[in-house]
Structure 1
Amino acid sequence: MRKRLLQLVHIGKNQLKMDDETYRSLLSQQFYQNSAKNISYSDLVKLVKILQGYGAKIRLPRDEPTLSAIQRKLWSVWKAVADESSNQALNAFVGRYYADVTDWRRLNHEQTAAIIEQLKQWKKRVGK
C-alpha cells in the first residue's frame, strides 16, 4: 500500500509538471523531509491530498487492503465449501480455531494455510 502511495505521489507530481526543487520545497515545508520515501504512511496520504488540491487527477486507493494470494485462495476455497459464503461466516469459522482473531484477513500466512487445510478436509468429508 505504501508503494502504491509513493507511485501516486510521483504521478501527481508529473501531472502538475512540478520541478524537483518545488517538489522538495513542498516536502520540506509540509513534512520536514526532502524525500517522500522518508515520510510516514499517514503523511503520504496527506501529500496525495495536497497534490489533489493543486489539481492532480489521482485517487487514493480504497481503505480496504488488497488480499494476498493465499488470502484469495482461502476465500475461493471457502466459497466452494460453505453454504453461506460471507465474511461473517468465515470469521466465525476462523474464530473456532483462533479465538483471538476476529477477522480472517488478519491471519498470518501460516494460520491462513492451516485454515485452508481445514477447509479441504471439510470438503472431503461432505463430498463437495
Structure 2
Amino acid sequence: MRKRLLQLVHIGKSQLKMDDDTYRRLLSQQFYQNSAKNISYSDLLKLVKILQQKGAKIRLPQGSSPLSALQRKLWAVWKAVAEESSSMALNAYVRRYYTEVADWRELNDEQTASIIEQLKQWKKRLGK
C-alpha cells in the first residue's frame, strides 16, 4: 500500500503541475523531509489529502482497505492482547523489535507475521 500511496503522490504532483522546488518545499514544511520516500505511512496519507485539497484528482480505490489482510490480523491480535490498544502503543511495541520501523503499517509481511506470533505467545501467557 505504501508503494501505491507514493504513486498517488507523484500523480497528484503532476496533476497540479508542481515543480520540483515547490514540491520539496511542501514536504519540508509539512513533514521536515525532502522526499516522500522518507516519510511515514500515516504522513503519506496526509500528503495525499493535502494534494487533494490543492485540487489533485487522486484517491484511494474504493472498497479497498489501506491495510493488508496480515496487517488487519496484527491489529486484531493487538487489540485482544494489549491494555492500551492504540496505534501509538503498537508502534512502540514494534519498535522494540524493529528499531528502523517508525510505523507498524510499514512492516513487511515477514516482520508482521513475526510480531503476530509474539503477540500470540503474550496472549497465551496472559491466559486470554
Shorter-normalised TM range = 0.5 to 0.7
CA positional deviation for 1:75: 0.5
- Work out the CA distance in 1 between the residues paired with 2:107 and 2:76: 16
1:112 paired residue number: 112
- Work out the CA distance in 1 between the residues paired with 2:122 and 2:103: 20
Number of aligned residue pairs? 84
- Work out the CA distance in 2 between the residues paired with 1:43 and 1:89: 31
1:45 and 2:17 are equivalent in the alignment: no
In structure 1, stretches of 5+ residues that fail to align are 4-39, 51-58
- Work out the CA distance in 2 between the residues paired with 1:94 and 1:43: 29
1:60 paired residue number: 58
In structure 2, stretches of 5+ residues that fail to align are 18-56
Structure 1's consecutive aligned runs of 4 or more residues displaced over 2 angstroms after TM superposition are: 40-50, 59-62
Identity of aligned residues (%): 61
For residues 56-113 of structure 1, the C-alpha deviation after alignment (integer angstroms, 9 at most, x for no partner) is xxx6326xx8111100110011001100010110001001111111110110010000
Instruction: Give me the TM-score of the superposition, normalised by structure 2.
Output: 0.54
Letter in 2 for 1:120: K
- Work out the CA distance in 2 between the residues paired with 1:89 and 1:42: 28
For residues 99-128 of structure 1, the C-alpha deviation after alignment (integer angstroms, 9 at most, x for no partner) is 111110110010000000000000000011
- Work out the CA distance in 2 between the residues paired with 1:88 and 1:42: 25
Secondary structure, aligned partner of 2:119:
helix
- Work out the CA distance in 1 between the residues paired with 2:10 and 2:75: 32
Cα gap change, 1:43 to 1:94, in 2 (>3 Å):
closer
1:93 paired residue number: 93
Contact 2:90–2:104 under 8 Å retained in 1: yes
Instruction: Give me the TM-score of the superposition, normalised by structure 1.
Output: 0.54
- Work out the CA distance in 2 between the residues paired with 1:94 and 1:42: 27
- Work out the CA distance in 1 between the residues paired with 2:80 and 2:15: 39
- Work out the CA distance in 2 between the residues paired with 1:60 and 1:41: 6
CA positional deviation for 1:47: 6.7
